[in-house]
Amino acid sequence: MKRKREDRENNQLEEGEEACARSMDIVWQTPANAPHRDDYIFHKGRRHVKPYYFEFICHVKNRWTGKTIVDVFTEEFKGRPYDYYVKAVKSGRIQVDGKNVSVYHRVKTSEKISHFVHRHEPPVMAWDVSVLQKEEDVLTVCKPASVPVHPCGQYRKNTVVGILEAEYGLAPLFPIHRLDRLVSGLLILARSSTKADAFRQQIEAGAVQKQYIAKVVGVFPEGEQVVDVNVNYDAREGRSTVEVGDGCTRIKVKGKTARTKFTRISTNGDYSIVLCEPVTGRSHQIRVHLQYAGHPIANDMLYLGEKVDPRSAVGTSADRAAARLWDSPSSKTSENNGDSEEEPFTDFINDPVCTHCPNLAPNGYGEPEEGLWLHCVRYTAPDWTYECPYPDWFKLD
């Protein structure tokens, strides 16, 4: 009898949450809604975005066909638990072709799925995106580590493009090259699609020289060192590996050709500052080529060790998954339990269906993130050069 009463009370609670969610006066945002300065909250050294309501749209993929709507979300979008997706379907937060469906609905190819979420963006470090040079058709900035360049994954407003629009009114902007989220330094943005195309043509023609600096483990050899090995990027796991053919077999190497030149600038016996000049532009190329050379970036958790928790299993970024292995046992336990150290912040609507409320950050983003010791310093072409100041870690003690 006690178990039945508890089940009945739980059902009544769920029905109350769903009714509350349906009755809320919600303004749904789309990518057309520009970020504003008051969208951000600065808290304990990090830049947060006030949670907001957002409509995600996707179309049913072939491999999803025949699965229930709840199973599709549970298997493909691991950031939230099964119970959340059940509530989201029941409350109309997940719809198919614009209509409410049962939790037992089996999806069909080409159906449009809308997921109306209370979106909590991951925080980034509260460093400014400083403008270096502002021209009529070009903008250069010093990108801080931890901030993505443009909207991707869970990030939309907490991006370089979003922050520049919110704080300086600069839009539209067209990044002509990319820097990984944890990489800092020079970022060039065109202010028109025509100028962006002109830049990209120069890059694709090999007319642009790119220079980065990195702080690596150990004494890097003197003289120019060239790493010329293929890079294979696993998009699902967010990690690259190198592939070297032995010249004796006919097994085809899957990775893309990649070439990086390295020159030691300084060393103190424990670490070295290295100039990195990528000739090609593969994902994580500098990071994995330095690992291959035996001198990985000194704080690059993803490439310092061989064993890394797969991000697909832990539902977070590859770098965060790697950092888990280097954390203390207590912090691992906290994240594995889905807890966040983010303090509750009440200056936004607390949504009854949301799995992240009342915290600002999504689950698993309670700890600050350290930027990589990898910094873009210079891009040069025959008719232009853009530079960025060196970071504090450039000078070895």
| C-alpha–C-alpha distance, residues 296 and 192, integer Å | 37
Instruction: Give phi and psi for 141, each to the nearest 5.
Output: -135, 160
Sign of CA dihedral 278, 280, 282, 285: negative
Q: What is the CA radius of gyration of the chain?
A: 24
Sign of the Cα torsion 324, 394, 228, 218 reads negative
Measured CA to CA, the distance from residue 51 to residue 356 in angstroms comes to 10
Asked whether the beta carbons of 111 and 59 are under 8 A apart, the reply is yes
Q: Which residues contact 138 (CB under 8 A, 6 or more apart)?
A: 188, 189, 190, 191, 195, 386
Catalytic residues: 180
Quickly list DSSP for 148-216: -SS-BTTBSSSSHHHHHHHHH---S-EESS---TT-EEEEEEESSHHHHHHHHHHHHTT--EEEEEEEE
Judge contact between 122 and 155, C-beta under 8 A. Answer: yes
Per-residue tokens: 238: 């967010």
% helix, strand, coil for the chain, step of 5: 25, 25, 45
215 close to 272: Cβ distance less than 8 angstroms: yes
How far is residue 189's CA from residue 378's CA, in Å, rounded to a whole number?
14
